[in-house]
Each structure stands twice: as structure tokens, then as C-alpha cells.
Amino acid sequence: MDFSPTPRVEGIRSTLRDFMAREVLPLEREVAATGFKESLAALKQARARAKETGLWAAYIPEAHGGTGLSLTEFAHMSEELGKSPIGHYVFNCQAPDVGNIEILMEYGTEEQKARFLEPLVKGETRSCFTMTEPEFAGSNPVWLGTTAVQEGDEWVVRGHKWFSSSADGAAFAICMAVTEPDAAEPHQRASMIIVPTNTPGFELIGNLSVMGHRGGDWASHGEVAYHGARVPLANLLGGRGMGFAIAQMRLGPGRIHHCMRWIGICERAFDIMCRHAATRELSPGRPLGMKQLVQGWIAESRAEINAARLMVLHAAWRIEKEGVYAAREDISLIKFTVARTLQRVLDRAIQTLGGLGVTDDTPLAFWWAHERAARIYDGADEVHVEAVARRILKSYGMKVAK
């Protein structure tokens, strides 16, 4: 297996590095100072210039308006974009839209694609994904209280969701709701249904305060209520009872996107740490980098980032060659390994910078607050660790009573 970047990938990385330095990093400071919502006009201009690079929505097939990068190629792109909190948004590669686009491409009807997919790819609208519920353990995705009951030619949706990222300003939600309560298998009880956010009965209760910040527009985590929201039966995605299967399809490649974004964050944090260690003097002629402990942080971070990147690229390669189901162990491994690597690298970088590290003069404090959740969302570390261990022990003959 050869994971060295192809000439195409090298060209993509070069284009992105130039664009990020010229357009994104200066804008990043404005967004940090004024807020995401207040910077939408400038972000819109940056997005227009991003389209000119030919890498707009690059993970999407050309037939749907994208560049048609493979999962492995986009993994490299995601790392570059991850070096800024707004990188993915500027190129229309941001969650949750990327996952919803993948669902609509795979399971959407022609009518659904025309109404919901095309504007999303063009960047004219945004979307959200409502699955997690405050009343039920998020680590058990088949245990849901939200229901969608068929009444005539409509679904009537009732329930309560939270951590619905980017619900603020979204044009529609993809809702995970129980439609088959009597199904024998728990994994076959829920379905996915498209609910436009202007539907009567859809309520954005508000944005959750996360680590002291509520955010706004795309940079937010919404709490949503469905008060008998009625949508046509035609808004069903896939088939009845396919919600969990579709979610697994969505989350597999999505974890590649997240993990490479985290590696991009690690690389930016590593660069900030090393520059500070090399130039910050403790006394005349004695840079901070002379400290053996700091040298250890730098060496350990470099090794962990490199190892994490290879793990993710290997998982992406397996997904492309063998499918999400065959690569499920690799997906679990990268999820908790890279999330933990991210936390360690950020912690070392902040410690190296001292007081500067907890200010907003660098993005380190932002990432420390907003990326702690990396070990929780898309499956908590403990869930993935347990899943991997069970598969390994099963291969050794361990039997678990049902």
C-alpha cells in the first residue's frame, strides 16, 4: 500500500496552502474578534473566491457539482482546511452539510435532490442533522423518543433533539425518528425524514452554550423540538426502518473527514508550539526550546501526529477498497486514537506558550474549548474502545450471552 501523495494531491495541497495564507487566515482573525454571524458578508466573499480554485465541495462527484475527489484525496484536503476553524466552511466542506449531502446523493429521490441537494452543494442553503436527544443516552443510537407517525399522506413528527449542529439558519433538518416501533430488531425501528425548518411545528429552541459560547448561524449547536411537524411521506430518505443503516453509512466517511480535520488542527498547533519554543527567550540567548521537557513535547507530538495520519489514510483506503462495514474496526480505532492525539498536542502547545496559550491571540484556546467534544461526538471514546475489544476477543473465542 502506497500512501504517498499523488501529483494531484500535491497540487491540491499547494493550492490550498496558498489560498489559506492569503484569504482564510486573515479572515480567521476577523471572525474570532467579531463572531461568525457578524462576519457572514466577508465569509461569503471568501467562499466566492474559493469556488474559483476548482476545489469547491471537492468531495462531491462532478455530476453533482463537485470536484470528484476520492475519499483518500479529500482526506489530504481536509487536513489542510482543518488548520483554520473556518477552512471547511469556506470551501463548503463543513459538517453537518457534508454528511447530509452524502445521504441525499445515495438515498435521495430525484425530487429530493432537486429541492434539497442542489442548493446545498451550491452553498445557497445549509442543513442540520437531528438525532441526539437529551432524554436518552447518546451512546445508544437506537434508543430514541422522537416519533414520526403516518397520518394519511403525511408524517407527523414529535420529539426533542439537541446538539443539532448548525440548526441556526439551516433550511432543512434530516430527522432520525422512530417509525417502526414494533420492529423485532432495534436497529430497524428508526427512519430518516427531511423536515424543512419553516415547517409549522419545527422549533429551534435555541443554541446550546458550549464551554461558555452559544455561537450563531453555522457555528452553533441547536436544541430543537418537533411539535407535531407535518411533512409529506415523500420526505422519507431510503426506506422505512433504514435510519440506523443510513446513519452508519454517513458516519464512516464522516469520521475520516473529522480525523483529518483534527490532524490539521494538530499541525497548526504544532507549528505554533515550535515557533514559540524556537524564538521565545527565557533569558538572553536561552530560547525556551533548549528545555529538555519542551523538546520531549515536540518530539512526542511529531511522532503521534505522523502515526495518526497514517492510521486515518489506511482507514480511508480500506473504506474505498472494501466498504464501510469491512473497515468498521479501523474507523473505531482512528476515532478514539486521533481524538486523544488532538487533546495531547493542544495541551502541550498551550503549556509551551504559557499565558499566551490561553488567550485568543492564537486559535489554541478556541480549539481547546471547542474540540474537547471530539472524544464524545460521533461515538464516545469508550464506545469505540469497547467495540474494538469485543471484536478482537470474539476472534479468540470469547462468547457473550445475549
Q: Output the tens digit of pLDDT for each of the chain's 402 residues.
A: 777 788 999 999 999 999 999 999 999 988 988 888 899 999 999 999 999 999 999 999 999 988 999 999 999 999 999 999 999 999 999 999 999 999 999 999 999 999 999 999 999 999 999 999 999 888 788 889 999 999 999 999 999 999 999 999 999 999 999 999 999 899 999 999 999 999 999 999 999 999 888 888 888 999 999 999 999 999 999 999 999 999 988 777 888 999 999 999 999 999 999 999 999 999 999 999 999 999 999 999 999 999 999 999 999 999 999 988 889 999 999 999 999 999 999 999 999 999 999 999 999 999 999 999 999 988 899 999 999 999 999 999 998 765
Q: Are residues 62 and 152 in the same domain?
A: no
| Residue 377 included in any domain | yes
Please indicate, yes or no, whether residues 384 and 265 belong to a single structural domain of this protein: yes
The C-alpha cell at 156 is: 407527523
- Nearest to residue 159, comparing CAs of 182, 131, 196? 131
Cα-based angle 38, 43, 45 (whole degrees, multiple of 5): 125
Long-range contacts of 11-19 (CB under 8 A, 24+ apart): 12/55, 12/58, 12/69, 12/73, 12/76, 12/77, 12/80, 13/76, 13/77, 13/80, 15/53, 15/55, 16/53, 16/55, 16/77, 16/80, 16/81, 17/80, 19/49, 19/50, 19/53
Q: Are residues 85 and 202 in the same domain?
A: no
139 inside domain: yes
**44 and 132 co-located in one domain:** no
- Domain residues for the domain of 79 are 7-108
Q: Is 317 domain-assigned? A: yes
Residue 230's nearest CA partner among 181, 195, 192 is 195
Task: Kindly state the DSSP code that residue 372 receives in the 8-state scheme.
Answer: G
The Cα-based distances of 58 to 42, 51, 163, 269, 375 in angstroms read: 22, 10, 26, 25, 27
Total structural domains within the chain = 3
For residues 251 and 379, membership in a common domain is answered with yes
Q: How far is CA 238 from CA 107, 192, 210, 247, in A?
A: 5, 8, 33, 11
Query: Same domain for 250 and 298?
Result: yes
Same structural domain, 209 and 148: yes
* 102 and 162 part of one domain: no
Q: What CATH number is given to the structural domain containing 160?
A: 2.40.110.10
